[in-house]
A and B are shown apart, each in its own frame.
Chain A
Amino acid sequence: MDNKKRVVVTGLGLVCGLGNDVDTCWRNALNGKTGIDDVKSVNTENCYARKGAEVDLPNGELSDENYDRSSLLCIKATAEALDDAGLELSKEDSRRIGVILGSCVGGAASIDKYYTEEINGGKGDPQDIWKMSASAIANNVAKHFALNGTTANIVNACAAGTMSIAYACDLIRAGKADVFAAGGTDSFSSLAFSGFHALHALDADSCSPFNRSSGITLGEGSGVLIVESYEHAKARGAKIYCDVLGSGVSSDAHHITAPRPDGMGQMAAIRRAMENSALKPQDIDYINAHGTGTAKNDEAEFLSLHTLFDESDNLSVSSTKSMTGHCLGAAGSIEAVFSVKSVCDNVIPPTIGYSEEDLKTLKEKAGKLDFVPNQKREKAVTHVMSNSFAFGGNNASIIFSKVPAELPEKKVDERIFVTGIGKLLGEKTENEAEGLRAQFGSADFKAHGVKMAFFRKLDRFSQLQLLSGVSALENAGITVDETNENNIGIVIGTADGPLKEIADFQINAIKNGTEKGSAFAFPNTVYNAAGGYLSIFSDIRGYNATVANGIQAGLQSICYAVDVIRCGEADTMLAAGTDENTDIESSLCAELGILGSGKPYSKGGIALGEGSVTLVLEKESTASARGSKILAEVAGCATAHCGTEAYKISGTMSALEQAIEDACADAGITPAQIDAVCGFADGNEAVDALEADAYRKVFGKDIPVLCVKETCGEARAAAAALSAAYAAELLAGMTDSEVNCYTVSADGVAEGRFNTGSARYLLATSFGLGGSYSAVVIKKAP
């Protein structure tokens, strides 16, 4: 047994409609009690559905922090989980404990509050602007508990909670951390209620998964698992609940809201999870199903389960959403807590809602599978699978086990190359207050073979990403077909996601009523819609994740993509950074008083930009097998975090230094070997000073800094990805042999020129609000 690969669960935390702690929720779930009641936090007066599973605690009783409700729910659950794990944080290296959380709606409650105040004649509270993005959540939680390992918010809608736990375990196995608080969170929101109402996807009564299947019931909550390397847990004498074995993530490449009717995407994720756990279908004792209660989900899921598990004699399946409601980005995390409890207690929570008549129908539909109707089932439980499927066609599956397993060796120890780049960035407009906007239209889509019937469905955020993603694939000369479609993946980073579509949807619902939500717009309000559309158009069916984590998410996406390749889950990854600039973003930034000239190191304020930059990353064997051109090597990656002051632009040097040192170490070099930095200076005084100070300290020499934001503006995640893309282009000789730079020296910052000819190692860096940083070492191609 290779204990280095063992990841165990040592702590659990939970708050949802069933109760405010793990024990209460679990007891209620086993007793088949429902958490669903009439909705209180959203005006449902004119709606055909009025049910929801809300948490019975006001914000002030969740935590004394002043954050959005999604963060507060998660702080409550994380506090319970950390306490349960018995981690003495004062004795731990906080840099080895990270926070990875899933969310779908992010700060939707704060967006609702801000625009409600604006519309009702008053003025929105500027603090709510800082609370809007899902980017804030993991940073808030990490700061609250002073955890300084990798932070990330995985924003893949309803698969986000499961994916977060899976990614945290992958990072522990890769040695990047010892411990993670991993899970998910989502508050109840008028955004989601109005959206699912518009899609007629809400059940008028309490949802009834695998039964009536006439729609979902929304819920809220947060589930958090403390996942830890076995060695770390053992060294500190921790109690161990169970092992986390393998996971699988896939993309349907089918439809933005509906699952593939043939269940192929779901089954790909499930098969991958079993393969990565060295288990067969017959080994699984219990599946906590996605089981939302919509006809389309339940039909596809019945089909997947029957196809894969009909040979099993002893499989129980249940949907705990029948009691918790569908908690979206928290769903997978809540269900993970139930899965772990099931392993520990040898008992399976029921799917509730079956009448005598329903039970007869179920018998026909279920075949040999036991759907645990209405009453819990006591039996020996060794292996539990938890499945989550999401908007955008994202599927995730993870396995918890009473016993460790000999996991297959899939680690990839090859060089990873940049083999293609796609870019779409903003240009200055006549109206200075607008900042920089990308200019594109129908002709640009048609040039890439995207039909109007497809691109008209996309909001601006998704359109930017589609164009850069498709360009990158073309630039790399990759044709997606059945030989590679499952081995290509996507990771998209964003600071603010599709904020325009979200705000417009919200403003409409505030002005016209919850019942007047737009069915057309709602699918685009989830952060992972852009990744979904890109996979649908290009037929990419492998890993698919979207990370919201401030500006630096566009660079963190490269770190994440490298992690995915290194752990053997993909051969090729598209790593992207995308953020939009519309009337919504520019007015919010104006309200915060941060806009200005955008000239780096000028203290003149930022010029808001937008765009999308996609890099194609490919492992060496795949790149050479197809004889692809190589632009540069991604030699090392790292992320770091250190909590920082809220409600202002601020950062901490220590975490940036850490990210740089770790990225260099990952590349097998010292910071002294870095020839120049592609940095993140944007004209904001605090950001630029922090950057220059950190470089002085880390490099201890004059260092040329190339500022991509001087031309593309503060395009946030797009600029962060561009810093790496630009480094690759410089090293590939695709730019002038001499380019503008700023030289950071002990005396100050001076404009200068950088000769690219002799450069071997360039470093791309970025920062994010909330205290997260990423650094990537780009090396000249061999």
Chain B
Amino acid sequence: MNIEIAEKIKKVLVDTLRIPEDELEFDSELFGEDIGLDSIDSIEIIACIDELFGIDMTGAPREDFQTIETLTNYVETHKEA
């Protein structure tokens, strides 16, 4: 996993979705019970990823949104493509 990309994604999640930094790990379940992201938050994640990396995640499968790790992998894969 590209740590630089992961850190960028983490920062944007902390800043825009008010997730406490100390409770957010790269493998935290974003849509699980603890952090509890919902459909509005996923709109925000799509906008942020687009803003940061110029990658459009609209319509990407649910599993790509699960953790910072999966988001990072998605960005890495689609950056190279």
**A, B from the same assembly:** yes
Chain A: residues with CB nearer than 8 A to chain B?
A: 198-200, 257, 442, 451-454, 456-457, 516, 518-521, 523
- Residue-by-residue, is B23-57 near A (CB-CB < 8 Å gives 1, otherwise 0)? 10000000001111000110110010001000000
Neighbouring B residues of A456 by C-beta, 8 Å: 17-20, 35-36
Neighbouring A residues of B41 by C-beta, 8 Å: 519-520
The 8 Å CB contact of B40, one of A451, A452, A454, A523, is A523
Considering the complex of A and B, which 3 residue pairs feature the smallest CB-CB distances, nearest first? A453-B36, A519-B43, A456-B18
A519 to chain B minimum Cβ distance, whole angstroms, is 4
Given A452-B36, A516-B47, A518-B44, A442 contacting B20 (CB threshold 8 A)? yes
- Give Cα distance in the complex from A457 to B16, angstroms: 10
Neighbouring A residues of B20 by C-beta, 8 Å: 442, 452, 456
Neighbouring A residues of B17 by C-beta, 8 Å: 456, 520
- Give Cα distance in the complex from A257 to B40, angstroms: 10
- Give Cα distance in the complex from A338 to B45, angstroms: 42
- Give Cα distance in the complex from A452 to B44, angstroms: 18
Does B35 lie within 8 Å of A453, measured CB to CB? yes
- Give Cα distance in the complex from A452 to B23, angstroms: 9
Most buried by A among B18, B33, B36: B18
Does A452 lie within 8 Å of B34, measured CB to CB? yes
Closest residue of chain B to A508 (Cβ to Cβ) is B16
- Give Cα distance in the complex from A442 to B44, angstroms: 23
Neighbouring A residues of B40 by C-beta, 8 Å: 199, 257, 519-520, 523
- Give Cα distance in the complex from A453 to B35, angstroms: 4
- Give Cα distance in the complex from A521 to B15, angstroms: 11
Neighbouring B residues of A518 by C-beta, 8 Å: 16, 44, 47
13 residue pairs from A and B, CB less than 8 Å apart = A198-B43, A451-B34, A452-B23, A453-B33, A456-B19, A457-B18, A519-B41, A519-B43, A520-B16, A520-B17, A520-B18, A521-B16, A523-B40
Closest residue of chain A to B23 (Cβ to Cβ) is A452
- Give Cα distance in the complex from A667 to B44, angstroms: 52
Does A200 lie within 8 Å of B36, measured CB to CB? no
- Give Cα distance in the complex from A456 to B35, angstroms: 8
Neighbouring B residues of A199 by C-beta, 8 Å: 40, 43
Neighbouring A residues of B23 by C-beta, 8 Å: 442, 452
Does B34 lie within 8 Å of A453, measured CB to CB? yes
Chain B: residues with CB nearer than 8 A to chain A?
A: 16-20, 23, 33-36, 40-41, 43-44, 47, 51
Neighbouring A residues of B33 by C-beta, 8 Å: 451, 453
Closest residue of chain B to A455 (Cβ to Cβ) is B18
- Give Cα distance in the complex from A519 to B33, angstroms: 21
A454 to chain B minimum Cβ distance, whole angstroms, is 7
- Give Cα distance in the complex from A675 to B17, angstroms: 50
Given A456-B18, A518-B16, A520-B17, A451 contacting B47 (CB threshold 8 A)? no
B18 to chain A minimum Cβ distance, whole angstroms, is 4
- Give Cα distance in the complex from A659 to B51, angstroms: 54
The 8 Å CB contact of B35, one of A200, A452, A519, is A452
Does B44 lie within 8 Å of A519, measured CB to CB? yes
The 8 Å CB contact of B36, one of A257, A442, A454, is A454
Does A200 lie within 8 Å of B43, measured CB to CB? yes
Closest residue of chain A to B22 (Cβ to Cβ) is A442
Does A519 lie within 8 Å of B36, measured CB to CB? no
Neighbouring A residues of B34 by C-beta, 8 Å: 451-453
- Give Cα distance in the complex from A452 to B19, angstroms: 8
Neighbouring B residues of A198 by C-beta, 8 Å: 43, 47
B21 to chain A minimum Cβ distance, whole angstroms, is 11
Known contacts A257-B40, A453-B36, A456-B19, then 8 further A-B pairs from the complex at CB < 8 Å, ordered by chain A residue = A200-B43, A452-B20, A452-B36, A454-B36, A456-B18, A519-B43, A519-B44, A520-B40
Closest residue of chain B to A516 (Cβ to Cβ) is B47
A137 to chain B minimum Cβ distance, whole angstroms, is 29
- Give Cα distance in the complex from A523 to B39, angstroms: 13
- Give Cα distance in the complex from A457 to B44, angstroms: 12
B1 to chain A minimum Cβ distance, whole angstroms, is 24
Closest residue of chain B to A456 (Cβ to Cβ) is B18
Closest residue of chain B to A458 (Cβ to Cβ) is B18
Neighbouring B residues of A257 by C-beta, 8 Å: 40
Does B47 lie within 8 Å of A519, measured CB to CB? yes
- Give Cα distance in the complex from A257 to B43, angstroms: 14
Closest residue of chain A to B35 (Cβ to Cβ) is A453
Neighbouring B residues of A516 by C-beta, 8 Å: 47, 51
B65 to chain A minimum Cβ distance, whole angstroms, is 15
- Give Cα distance in the complex from A672 to B35, angstroms: 56
Closest residue of chain A to B41 (Cβ to Cβ) is A520
B68 to chain A minimum Cβ distance, whole angstroms, is 16
Closest residue of chain A to B50 (Cβ to Cβ) is A516
Neighbouring B residues of A453 by C-beta, 8 Å: 33-36
Neighbouring B residues of A457 by C-beta, 8 Å: 18
- Give Cα distance in the complex from A457 to B47, angstroms: 17
- Give Cα distance in the complex from A457 to B36, angstroms: 10
Closest residue of chain B to A454 (Cβ to Cβ) is B36
A580 to chain B minimum Cβ distance, whole angstroms, is 15
- Give Cα distance in the complex from A451 to B19, angstroms: 12
- Give Cα distance in the complex from A516 to B16, angstroms: 13
Neighbouring A residues of B19 by C-beta, 8 Å: 452, 456
- Give Cα distance in the complex from A244 to B16, angstroms: 45
A534 to chain B minimum Cβ distance, whole angstroms, is 18
Most buried by B among A199, A519, A521: A519
Given A452-B23, A456-B18, A520 contacting B36 (CB threshold 8 A)? no
Neighbouring A residues of B36 by C-beta, 8 Å: 451-454, 456
A248 to chain B minimum Cβ distance, whole angstroms, is 29
Closest residue of chain B to A512 (Cβ to Cβ) is B51
- Give Cα distance in the complex from A521 to B48, angstroms: 13
A512 to chain B minimum Cβ distance, whole angstroms, is 8
- Give Cα distance in the complex from A72 to B17, angstroms: 36
- Give Cα distance in the complex from A452 to B34, angstroms: 7
- Give Cα distance in the complex from A201 to B54, angstroms: 23
- Give Cα distance in the complex from A516 to B44, angstroms: 10
Closest residue of chain B to A453 (Cβ to Cβ) is B36
Neighbouring B residues of A523 by C-beta, 8 Å: 40
Neighbouring B residues of A442 by C-beta, 8 Å: 20, 23
Neighbouring B residues of A200 by C-beta, 8 Å: 43
Neighbouring A residues of B18 by C-beta, 8 Å: 456-457, 520
A262 to chain B minimum Cβ distance, whole angstroms, is 18
A677 to chain B minimum Cβ distance, whole angstroms, is 40
- Give Cα distance in the complex from A519 to B42, angstroms: 9
Neighbouring A residues of B51 by C-beta, 8 Å: 516
Closest residue of chain B to A457 (Cβ to Cβ) is B18
- Give Cα distance in the complex from A519 to B44, angstroms: 6
- Give Cα distance in the complex from A199 to B51, angstroms: 17
- Give Cα distance in the complex from A344 to B59, angstroms: 51
- Give Cα distance in the complex from A523 to B17, angstroms: 13
Neighbouring B residues of A452 by C-beta, 8 Å: 19-20, 23, 34-36
- Give Cα distance in the complex from A294 to B40, angstroms: 15
- Give Cα distance in the complex from A518 to B51, angstroms: 12
- Give Cα distance in the complex from A146 to B61, angstroms: 60
Closest residue of chain B to A519 (Cβ to Cβ) is B43
Closest residue of chain A to B36 (Cβ to Cβ) is A453
- Give Cα distance in the complex from A442 to B35, angstroms: 13
Closest residue of chain B to A200 (Cβ to Cβ) is B43
- Give Cα distance in the complex from A516 to B41, angstroms: 14
- Give Cα distance in the complex from A454 to B20, angstroms: 12
A489 to chain B minimum Cβ distance, whole angstroms, is 27
- Give Cα distance in the complex from A521 to B47, angstroms: 13
B45 to chain A minimum Cβ distance, whole angstroms, is 9
- Give Cα distance in the complex from A200 to B47, angstroms: 12
